[in-house]
Structure 1
Amino acid sequence: MIDEFAKAYLHSDLRELREAMLWKLDGLVDADIRRPLTASGTNLLGLVKHLTLSESRYFGEVFGRSFPEPLPRWDDMAARGLDMRAAEGETREEIVARYRRVWAHSDATIDALAVDSPGHVPWWPRPDVMLFNVLVHVLTETARHAGHADIVREQIDGATGVGP
């Protein structure tokens, strides 16, 4: 019983953080969501793009349920780091829509699998995992980047928090 509670609880928190990430884009013009405001070049749209790729891998490849659209592989060194910035031809609408499609795919994986279902993360030092490990990791990563987005958004217009 605790397994289903834990899975539902973590999944609910992940859903809330996803929405908070997209709220960070609300009301801003394209130049603002693409503007790098840190030394590393972090911008709001890039954070959403990065979370899209990351979540698609963790709830896709790790459990043998690959996301059905072409995305760079985790071991594609030429693409490493490109997910942190939106390319000139990529629109907000495309990136947000892809993120939402990844949510649906991830949610289907989470719903279909037991919390102790095995997965394999080849880029981790201890690659054999369970859905529980991946839920905690993706939730943590999404929360971390939501914090980054909060700082970037605050630099743009002073808005902070998880919603209007």
Structure 2
Amino acid sequence: MTPPKTAPDPKADLHRYLQEARDALLWKLEGLSEYDVRRPMTPTGTNLLGLVKHVASVELGYLGDTFGRPSGEPMPWLDEGAEDNADMWATADESREYIVGLYRRAWAHADATLDALALDAVGRVPWWPSGKDEVTLHHAVVRVIADTHRHAGHADIVRELMDGAVGEKQGSNSIPPVDAEWWEDYRSRLERVARQASPSD
């Protein structure tokens, strides 16, 4: 077996995939009005700025509080007695600049935890049941990566529904370079196939 050309660096790998998801999520806000970044685009209210607020809270919890490294950031939407889903939308007083700034500070805080601790360091998740609340840093980072990529995917769909903008990341959208007519024909074809596959529906 040929040895790898570079030494493995698990922390660098984890950080890379986390940062890619972070960047993708924030990119989906670019070029939109204050209204559009808050606009609920699904029956359950999914909106772009709310997704950012949520993932910022997740990072500060799993990669901060869990390892005895509280950020000091006030997050009243997570307080006991806060209304349901308060972390999934921004109030009129919570500006885009504030939420994006919170997320960037969450990155820095989480990255400092990743730098400071070994991947096998054990923390306790405050909101998990006692006795079942221990977690390694490795597990916590993977959990945050999975959550952030999931919500970046939500943001992809929300943004496409909003104004047709698509793509994985700036400068590399992973979309065939075709025109709107091609996409309309493609979508119509998929609709026909779906109907042919389920004639009894």
Between the aligned partners of 2:128 and 2:9, the Cα distance in structure 1 is 26
TM-score by length of 1: 0.92
User: Can you give the 5+ residue segments of structure 1 that lack an aligned partner in the other structure?
Assistant: none
1:123 to 127, 151, 164: 127
Between the aligned partners of 2:150 and 2:128, the Cα distance in structure 1 is 19
| CA shift for structure 1 position 44 | 0.3
Corresponding residue SS for 2:128: coil
Between the aligned partners of 2:74 and 2:154, the Cα distance in structure 1 is 27
User: Can you give the 5+ residue segments of structure 2 that lack an aligned partner in the other structure?
Assistant: 1-7, 171-201
| CA shift for structure 1 position 72 | 3.4
Q: Is 1:144 aligned with 2:124? A: no
Q: Which whole-Å deviations, capped at 9, do the CAs of 1:121-141 have from their partners, x for residues lacking one?
A: 133353111000001100000
Matches within 5 A, 1:20-39: 20-39=24-43
Corresponding residue SS for 1:119: strand
Give 4+ residue runs of structure 1 displaced > 4 Å after superposition. none
- Aligned equivalent of 1:159: 165
TM-score by length of 2: 0.75
For the 8 Å contact 1:23–1:162, the answer to whether it is kept is no
Matches within 5 A, 1:41-56: 41-56=45-60
**Which protein shows a greater Rg?**
2
Q: Which whole-Å deviations, capped at 9, do the CAs of 1:61-112 have from their partners, x for residues lacking one?
A: 1000001221238562424410100101111111101110111011001110
Q: Is 1:9 aligned with 2:13? A: yes
Q: Is 1:132 aligned with 2:116? A: no
Between the aligned partners of 2:21 and 2:122, the Cα distance in structure 1 is 25
Cα RMSD of the aligned pairs, angstroms, is 1.6
Structure 2: which amino acid aligns with 1:135?
A: V
Corresponding residue SS for 1:78: coil
2:118 to 109, 114, 117: 114
Percent same amino acid at aligned positions? Answer: 55
Residues matched between the structures, number: 161
- Aligned equivalent of 2:69: 65
For the 8 Å contact 1:24–1:150, the answer to whether it is kept is yes
